[in-house]
Amino acid sequence: MNSQDFIKMEDEYGAHNYHPLDVVIKEANGVWVTDVDGKKYLDCLAAYSAVNQGHCHPKILEVFIEQAHKVTLTSRAFRNDQLPLLYKKLHDMTGYDMFLPMNSGAEAVETAIKLCRRWAYDVKKLPENKAEIIVADGNFHGRTTTIVGMSDDPDSYKGFGPYVEWAFPMHKFGDLEDLKSKITPNTAGILVEPIQGEGGVVVPPDGYLKGIADICKERNILFLCDEIQAGLGRSGKLFAHYYENVRPDIVIIGKALSGGFLPVSGVLADKEIMLTIKPGEHGSTFGGSPLAAAVALKALEVIEEENLVQRSFDLGAYFVEKLRTIKSPHIKQIRGKGLWIGFVLDQKARPYVLKLQEEGLLCKDTHETIIRFAPPLIITKEQIDWAVERIEKVVHEFDK
């Protein structure tokens, strides 16, 4: 079967909830993927930052296979010998007291919402069922009905209501004065992405996260930071909030936590918040499984051992510098942190993305006019140079 055969089958029998590029990937290794027709591509999306460590990382793969031969799932009705090791590793890496494991990023966001609300009722003593969590415009936190109800993107929320809109007041991302105007006596938390990924790698003004942290401390509000895409090295720091030297009350992680081998996510917090949820009040059949824990532990070790956070910082700066040498009247802005770059155009980005695919480079358009470049953090300068040559070629084709 060739690519067109697979595409036809997928369109016939699969839900149309995505609009993917017509490339059918069969194999992947490091920064490269290969389609069913044998064409090789440089992956500049990294599965939305889930494969920061590179595709099929050999050390993570070895642990995955080894653990799969022992036990993959016991459910949380029993203990296992891998989860405590992951708990301890995350504590040592981040300084937070505790970790609550889940699977998808959206599940972790839902968990953070539940934690914030429980803390608000048990500790802050808000009236039952009145807790509000302030969010930002342009946000993307997932696809559940609760989460799309706090989005301002019609593609996310339209046709899936009703929503509890008052529970998630929205402020302008990056605007502290607007944020303050949304605070009420029932405000329990403020939930933001330190950098908005789906929004097009939007970096807030300096001082924004520090301002949120200060507001939360002054007014007894929890600061919830969604680091699902930004975290674990993508932004050039272990977490993007490190750029402003703040410590959110709740940090949400996922994506690269498993190196792309299976869904692993969760929430970091200290005991006074985490222990407000009691046994039986929240959980997951697969969250915290021995397979998930073993893989996540090794994925974290790889980030440390291969110095991927510093690589992201250094190579991200190099990538941006190279991109800024490209001159075109259609380039409006090149922005980002680490190996997470928003390439902003003054016209539709999808045609550029399709041309880049022809050149052997895979990336993703978002919000009509923005291309995101986010390769695995193991990429080299030589591979970045290879990518920039092709990006420049495609950009100039649209200048004609």
> What are the tens digits of pLDDT across the range 115-152?
999 999 999 999 999 999 999 999 999 999 999 999 99
* Two tokens, residue 255: 């994506």
Residue at 350: amino acid letter? R
Candidates 100, 37, 137, 131; CA nearest to 271 is 100
- pTM of the full predicted structure? 0.97
* Cβ pair 369, 346 in contact under 8 A: yes
What token pair was written down for 302? 């790889």
Contact 313, 356 (CB under 8 A): no
CA gap 200, 342 in Å, rounded: 6
CB atoms under 10 Å from CB of 210, counted, come to 15
The per-residue pLDDT for 400 is 80
At residue 312, the pLDDT reads 98
Distances (CA, A) of 51 to 32, 183, 301: 11, 37, 14
Convert the chain into a string of H (helix), E (strand) and C (coil): CCHHHHHHHHHHHCCCCCCCCCCCEEEEEECEEEECCCCEEEECCHHHHCCCCCECCHHHHHHHHHHHCCCCCCCCCCCCCCHHHHHHHHHHHHCCCEEEEECCHHHHHHHHHHHHHHHHHHCCCCCCCCCEEEEECCCCCCCCHHHHCCCCCHHHHCCCCCCCHHHCCEECCCCHHHHHHCCCCCEEEEEECCCECCCCCECCCCCHHHHHHHHHHHHCCEEEEECCCCCCCCCCCCCHHHHHCCCCCEEEECHHHHCCCCCCEEEEECHHHHCCCCCCCCCCCCCCCHHHHHHHHHHHHHHHHCCHHHHHHHHHHHHHHHHCCCCCCCEEEEEECCCCEEEEECCCCHHHHHHHHHCCEECEEECCCEEEECCCCCCCHHHHHHHHHHHHHHHHHCCC
Alpha carbon separation from 159 to 68, 143, 163 (Å, rounded): 41, 13, 11
Neighbours of 344 (CB within 10 A): 18
- Token pair listed for 184: 């009420």
The rounded distance, in Å, linking the Cα atoms of 55 and 23 is 17
The residues carrying an active-site annotation are 140, 226, 255
For residues 184 and 132, is the Cβ–Cβ distance under 8 A?
yes
Q: What is the topology classification, in CATH, of domain 3-21+36-44+307-397? A: Aspartate Aminotransferase, domain 1 (3.90.1150)
Supply the pLDDT for residue 75: 85
Q: Where in the chain is the domain with CATH 3.90.1150.10?
A: 3-21+36-44+307-397
Question: In the prediction, which pLDDT does 190 show?
Answer: 99
Q: Which fold has domain 58-305?
A: Aspartate Aminotransferase; domain 2 (3.40.640)
pLDDT score recorded for residue 151: 96
Which residues, given as ranges, of the chain have pLDDT below 70?
A: none
Q: What is the pLDDT of residues 191-230, one digit of tens each?
A: 999 999 999 999 999 999 999 999 999 999 999 999 999 9
